[in-house]
Copies of this chain bind each other. A is one copy, B any other.
């Protein structure tokens, strides 16, 4: 019953096989000048229905920081959600990569930015030159850290506000596959057609070993990335192995199959928990993460049975929804590798704990 994160298991079989296959004894030029990398560039251009600039790295923090560094100068403001990964989980990575830009957090339930909140934040920022830092970027997480998904209309509306205020739009797509699977739209529709300038296209959380692609929808914007990636130590010499992962990820809609499975497991878990007394789900999951508020005794019972999962901050919830005394908001993340039997068992143990509690 491993629900701690979507990176606790390894790689999908197809992706691991592709890595092994790339180790075919042939020599190739290093640092991305191999044929596999060229193929990936074409595949992503096809997938996104336009010529894109592609830069693969091994982590989402690198992809996000590098992408943002091309949207803002060191003295610019990056607008993002207050609970986003770039704000909270990268130990000042974006500040490092941008050379000192300021992240301004926007609050809102489900780690999701609304157009109203975006406009209010922008209105609250001064425009005195040169005192106030200017706004240069908006970063949206798709799907969000709390398991929600931005619709095409929402991304379009947010991007329009950003652009009207001089900001470029970055999408942190560490779980982009889960979002696309949930939305049923095309990758193009939810990115550049909706105003996104650069995407961190994640594969690691969705079945790869370690591969994230920075995708520029206007390749000219990424012109200097080749040097930024190098100096940050994010250009792999044996780059063919990144390409191999991405190629297998994209082939035959493997990436969507993996994401659909993870999403389906989360939905099943949510359905099951909805029937367990004492469990609340203030945020209705839309992708592969859910955040139930549970009695502490139930959490203990689940852990005793081997469930691996962790508490998460409920600070973004409305006060009425927050965990009360004796409760904790927990994070459950499903992945391409989550087994249905673990979902069933988790719900069953929770239900047992609920019964025990009501009997007590």
A residues bordering B, Cβ < 8 Å? Answer: 2, 4-5, 7-11, 16, 19-20, 22-31, 57-66, 73-76, 88-93, 95-103, 124, 126, 128-134, 204-205, 209-210, 224, 226-238, 240-241, 308, 313, 315, 337
Contact = CB atoms under 8 A, between A and B. Distances in A.
A291 to B, nearest CB: 15
Given A2-B27, A20-B20, A90-B131, A73 B224 contact: yes
Given A57-B233, A233-B234, A238-B204, A75 B96 contact: yes
Number of copies: 4
Given A8-B28, A24-B10, A237-B210, A231 B62 contact: no
By Cβ-Cβ distance, the 10 closest A-B pairs, closest first, are A62-B233, A2-B27, A95-B100, A10-B23, A61-B233, A130-B230, A7-B237, A91-B230, A91-B231, A75-B92
A22 B10 contact: yes
B92 A74 contact: yes
A234 B7 contact: no
B93 A232 contact: yes
A65 B126 CA distance: 20
The A interface is mostly helix, strand or loop, or mixed, namely loop
Nearest to A62: B233
Given A101-B95, A129-B227, A241-B209, A59 B235 contact: yes
A204 B240 CA distance: 13
Contact of A130 (B60, B91, B96, B128): B91
A336 to B, nearest CB: 12
A313 B28 CA distance: 23
Contacts of A58: 58, 210, 233, 236
Given A4-B27, A62-B233, A92-B133, 14 more contacts: A7-B238, A8-B30, A11-B238, A25-B337, A59-B235, A59-B237, A62-B232, A74-B96, A90-B233, A99-B100, A129-B226, A129-B227, A204-B238, A233-B234
